[in-house]
Chain A
Amino acid sequence: MQKKYLSLLVFPILLLLLLISMCGCAGTVQTNTARTLLTIHDSIKVSAEAASTACDQKLIQPAACHEIKVGYDAFREEWPKTNDALKVYLLSTDSVTGQADFTSHYQVFMSLYNQLFSALIKNGVIKLTEGVK
């Protein structure tokens, strides 16, 4: 009798898992990548706005402001492309479909992020040593 109930319980769970796994949804690698890129976007948005304000107030050298602006403009231009490719990648049922296009954008995006982040640190917008005793 108990065995019969167990079988009745296992079948719906199995069916639910099969339905979820077939629904065209992303795995953890894809969702973790999306979360990472969204976090990078958020941190750059805040940092760049702070840098722009500091440049307007002449707190940062004009040459440094120019360097940050060039980096930010390139990053800003690439973000929607990476965003679109990431959505295709997220909606792919396996980790291969949509990955090739996304990977090329991801490499460009991370390279631009690296350049901009380096410029922000080099010019004191992001202070790594603040608060360290």
Chain B
Amino acid sequence: MGAMIFQILGLAMQYGPELGIDIKNAINRLSNGETVESLIAELDAKRDDLKPLDFGQSTGGN
């Protein structure tokens, strides 16, 4: 029974990525802790936060 489970796991790791099932990445994500949701929230928050800066140009710098 145990051998069969590991055989299935091995096959899933070998052929899974072609079917959109990436077990290695799932293990990495669990160990990494940083979720895609948290990254996307941070990207959304920082999407438009670069303010226009004049670098002294409005005071006749150029």
- What class of interface size applies to chain B in its complex with A? 35 or more
Nearest opposing residue in chain A for B61, CB measure: A62
Nearest B residue (CB) for A30: B36
Interface of B is mostly: helix
**A7 touching B39 in the complex, CB below 8 Å, given contacts A21-B23, A27-B25, A68-B55:** no
A-B pairs with CB below 8 Å: how many? Answer: 136
Bits for B1-34, please: 1 = Cβ < 8 Å to A, else 0. Answer: 1100100110010001100111111111110101
Q: How far is the CA of A57 from the CA of B55 in the complex (A)?
A: 9
Query: Can you offer 30 A-B residue contacts whose CB atoms are under 8 A?
Result: A11-B5, A14-B9, A17-B26, A18-B23, A21-B23, A22-B21, A25-B36, A30-B36, A31-B39, A35-B34, A35-B39, A38-B39, A38-B46, A48-B53, A52-B53, A56-B54, A69-B53, A69-B57, A73-B52, A75-B50, A76-B52, A79-B50, A80-B47, A83-B43, A83-B47, A84-B47, A87-B40, A90-B43, A93-B20, A94-B17
